[in-house]
Structure 1
Amino acid sequence: MAAPDDKWVMTLKAAVAEPAGTLFCFPYAGGSPETFRAWRGGIADDVELLCVILPGRGRRLKEARYDRWQPLVDDVFEALSPYLNRRHAFYGHSFGGRLAYELSRLASAEYPGTTQRLFVSGCRSPDTPQRRPYMHEMTESDFRDAVARMGGTPAEVFEQERLLRLVLPTVRSEIRLAEIWDDLHTSALDVPITALYSPDDPIDGLCTMRGWQNFTKRHCELIEVPGGHFFVDSHPEYVTRIVNTRMGNANGCDRPLGSGSVRSPEDQQD
């Protein structure tokens, strides 16, 4: 469990049974722990649910945001190090998926055998080119319109100019990191990957996520869920049931990528 004064990690649900592991969650650009707070009722009792909080939101709103990947990855890894010597998995959505992947590489190398799985959702594979033009290069007006069309940001935020001015710089900063991200590593990840996508996602759907199979030496599966790009918000019951069946399963006995998408959580009972 995260200490109350840990600025990087928030405990959303403590394990009430012998833990199968800790699940570290990373939200989309500008996202907050509220996305994963809705998961508490669905996550198994033997899973500890933690959310990583980056600068630029919530209690860290006034802290400087990151503009480069390496310092971000290094600092988050250092902050999580006290938690990584026990069984754990990473879950990241969109921008958070990229960060979760980078941290999985470090954690599996530094703490062999403890990283059980990487969950990525709504996140292009590292070898998939980023769609152009870049959102982060848009004018302020166009960027606001684009963020509104994406969804994910509550409509009431766009009705409050002062709040919008606080929120949007973090969203733009992390969208920039997401857009410029690519894979510079020379070896595949030695951790199973579960990649979740929505057929209704206009940002990163099936076509941009297929490539995840090329980035692990272990098992990789691609799972279809409903709900558009922000299905982590709109369909938490689907996602948590998938996570529950995979936590603690490091042997890759799930359906492999290429054998067909899994259509619903009911199809995924191991």
Structure 2
Amino acid sequence: MRNRWLLRFPPRPGARIRLLCLPGAGAAAAMYRSWGELLPSEVEVCAVQLPGRGGRLREPLYTLMDPLAEDLAEAVLAEPALPTVIFGHSLGSVIGFELADRLRDSAGHAPLALVAAGHRAPRLGSAALPYHRLGDRELAEIMVALGGTPEEVLARPEVLRLALPSIRADFQLDFTYRYRERPALSIPISVYGGLADTTVAESELDAWRSHTNGAFSLRMLPGDHFFPTGPSGPELLGLLTADLLQQV
């Protein structure tokens, strides 16, 4: 049975490791479509499609972390067991952390490592940016200002009408997030940041180290908040490939 939560780019039945990718606020699984072509054949890119986008456009949106993390964990547990590394960008980093926490004791599905990009450590809590309260036009302008949305989108009301509900819900999800104290993960955590990212400080990225008893690394790459899909993308994928192949 097809798992509506997970899209494979492309399916690789013979893969030795699964890279489970979580998009940032308002983004869809498609942001990772090209990664399958750029990563080695041993890696299956499995991107999470959250409700409200793509083929799940009409499904109810999540605005609270716990229900989302619980339902996503259930979806992952329904998959065949395969060594898995979780990668998250922006809000996806925190979702990935909550997912890793829920899977930590699951035989066959506990992740091997967590990779976070462009978001402060969960223990620091919400970034306290109430963008979900803005009007449609103001919210769209924020997305353009952050760098992840082309300015031409502002002139296309039909596109905004489809995209803004999921963007608004994701900002509410981030705004309402409250970290719950728990034991640190035992798996390695790798963190990446953009040198020109104005949404998160390097010290806030470094704070991820408190969430693991295992190895920790922090790498800063050229680019803004959307560096994983910008010019630094190939460098990120090269580093990620080296880390992945060490896990199998």
TM superposition score normalised by structure 1: 0.84
State the one-letter code of the partner of 1:233. T
* Residues 6 and 151 of structure 1, relative CA distance in 2, 3 Å threshold: same
CA contact (8 A) 2:21 2:46 kept: yes
**Corresponding residue number in structure 1 for 2:130:** 134
In structure 2, C-alpha distance between the alignment counterparts of 1:213 and 1:152, rounded to whole Å? 27
**Corresponding residue number in structure 2 for 1:75:** 71
In structure 2, C-alpha distance between the alignment counterparts of 1:114 and 1:97, rounded to whole Å? 17
**Corresponding residue number in structure 2 for 1:92:** 88
Q: Which of 47, 50, 53 is equivalent to 1:51?
A: 47
- The answer to whether structure 1 residue 10 and structure 2 residue 29 are counterparts is no
CA contact (8 A) 1:97 1:120 kept: yes
What is the Cα deviation at residue 220 of structure 1? Answer: 0.8
Of all paired residues, the percent bearing the same amino acid is 25
SS in 2 for 1:89: strand
Q: Deviations over 1:128-151 (max 9, x none)?
A: 254445222233333222122112
Query: How many residues are aligned here?
Result: 247
State the one-letter code of the partner of 2:96. A
In structure 2, C-alpha distance between the alignment counterparts of 1:195 and 1:138, rounded to whole Å? 30
In structure 2, C-alpha distance between the alignment counterparts of 1:205 and 1:50, rounded to whole Å? 29
Q: Deviations over 1:159-206 (max 9, x none)?
A: 210220110111011011122223203210111101000110011241
What is the Cα deviation at residue 56 of structure 1? Answer: 0.4
* Residues 64 and 138 of structure 1, relative CA distance in 2, 3 Å threshold: same
SS in 2 for 1:217: coil
**Corresponding residue number in structure 2 for 1:25:** 21
CA RMSD of aligned residues (A): 2.0
- The answer to whether structure 1 residue 111 and structure 2 residue 107 are counterparts is yes
TM superposition score normalised by structure 2: 0.91
CA contact (8 A) 1:116 1:248 kept: no
CA contact (8 A) 1:84 1:111 kept: no
**Corresponding residue number in structure 2 for 1:207:** 203
* Residues 32 and 199 of structure 1, relative CA distance in 2, 3 Å threshold: same
In structure 2, C-alpha distance between the alignment counterparts of 1:227 and 1:136, rounded to whole Å? 25
Q: Which of 226, 243, 246 is equivalent to 1:246?
A: 243
Q: Deviations over 1:90-137 (max 9, x none)?
A: 000001111111111111222368411101000110122544452222
What is the Cα deviation at residue 229 of structure 1? Answer: 0.4
Unpaired stretches in structure 1, ≥5 consecutive residues: 252-270
